[in-house]
Copies of this chain bind each other. A is one copy, B any other.
Amino acid sequence: MSMNSFGHIFRVTTWGESHGPALGATVDGCPPNIPLDAEMLQVWLDKRRPGQNKHTTQRNEPDQVRILSGVYDGKTTGTPIQLMIENTDQRSKDYGEIETTFRPGHADITYWQKYGIRDPRGGGRSSARETAARVAAGGVAREALKALLPGLQIKGYMTQMGALHLDRTKFDWDAIDQNPFWLPDNAAVQEWEDYLHHLRTREHDSVGAAIEVVVRGAPAGLGAPIYAKLDTDLTAAMMSINAVKGVEIGEGMAAAGLRGTENADEISMGDDGPLFSSNHAGGILGGISSGQDIVVRFAVKPTSSILTPRQSITKTGQPVEVVTKGRHDPCVGIRAVPVGEAMAACVMLDHVMLHRAQMGDGPRGKIG
């Protein structure tokens, strides 16, 4: 059972509501002797933090993470690591009428229908604020991966924002960390900024996005078929992020339009092992990594919290017009980038551990 947990062995349980005293993540199963302190995690939280640029929520919280357990003398001990982020700025007055009104496109109505009770302050448990806990847990996973798989890189970036698409011919891996959209094309940043500024200030609207996360440098052999396939677990991890509506591995949905002669990546022998002529598979075959770049992509819907009025109903079934005046991102997809990276980091570490459980550190099947 895993209502608020994910992972097989590196197991993360997130807890907390948007406007409660605190939220966080309980991280179980981390390998011992991994160097860890709060600063290492803060880096990633700062990346996700609202108020980073003018396109993300202006709520100005430090999002300071504390490590309450599982670390001694600067190293993990193999026991549960409790990560807590206190909610210091809880302007719940902004959210008063949400208690009796269901915002279209939000989980207000379904939480109510399921539980018969919900914390309406800032969306409660269904708020995207929950992803801060994931990002903190992902930071732990990154530190463990550094020790277990040195050389592994995990990077997320935007490939689409509404009508704008990444031009893949200009793909620049190094540009990703240099602009507020994590866009692998610095030259396009101004256009993306203008587009979003116009959308927010003039059209009072929001927009969806597509994010791609690449894992580079993973060895072949990770993944546990049939139902803990690496692609299955990555897909589930991404789909669990707020507002995600689709997930793709490699070719993704476009595979439906391909022929066998186009899709299969041909294999040749390189100096260091097998080489593939292409990467339609997204680095995963039969649920197991092939040694190629692992490529997962997901779509985030536009936030429904906009200034433009929308029709809805109240708890008593009365019609009501909903206008969201609070602080909201015009494109929540931007902040989904570090969240997607964090989820990928957790899944990769989990699968390294799962592989070791069954196979140990011993030799894998050799080729050549």
Contacts and interface: CB of A to CB of B under 8 A. Distances in A.
B245 A253 contact: yes
B255 A206 contact: no
A335 to B, nearest CB: 15
Interface in A195-242: 199, 203, 205-210, 220-229, 231-233, 235-236, 239-240, 242
B288 A111 contact: yes
A220 to B, nearest CB: 4
A42 to B, nearest CB: 17
A32 interface: yes
Contacts of A231: 239
A76 B118 CA distance: 9
A8 B333 CA distance: 30
B290 A82 contact: no
A310 B264 contact: yes
Given A109-B290, A252-B246, A15 B69 contact: yes
A247 interface: yes
A334 interface: no
Nearest to A107: B286
**Interface bin, chain A:** 35 or more
A226 B111 CA distance: 12
Given A17-B69, A113-B220, A104 B264 contact: yes
Contacts of A303: 260
A33 B116 contact: yes
A56 interface: no
Interface in A136-164: 148, 160-163
Contact of A288 (B110, B235, B366): B110
Contacts of A224: 3
Nearest to A266: B311
A248 interface: yes
Interface string A107-146: 1011111111111010011100010000000000000000
Contacts of A29: 1, 3, 357-358
A79 B199 CA distance: 35
Contacts of A161: 256
B304 A253 contact: no
A250 B245 contact: yes
A315 B110 contact: no
14 contacts: A4-B80, A15-B68, A32-B115, A102-B267, A105-B264, A162-B257, A206-B259, A208-B256, A229-B240, A235-B236, A245-B248, A245-B253, A246-B246, A267-B312
Given A29-B358, A235-B247, 17 more contacts: A3-B224, A5-B13, A72-B124, A77-B119, A106-B285, A107-B225, A126-B286, A160-B256, A162-B257, A226-B240, A252-B253, A260-B302, A261-B308, A263-B301, A264-B302, A317-B368, A356-B361
The 8 closest A-B pairs by CB, nearest first: A107-B286, A105-B264, A317-B368, A206-B260, A110-B288, A357-B357, A246-B252, A15-B80
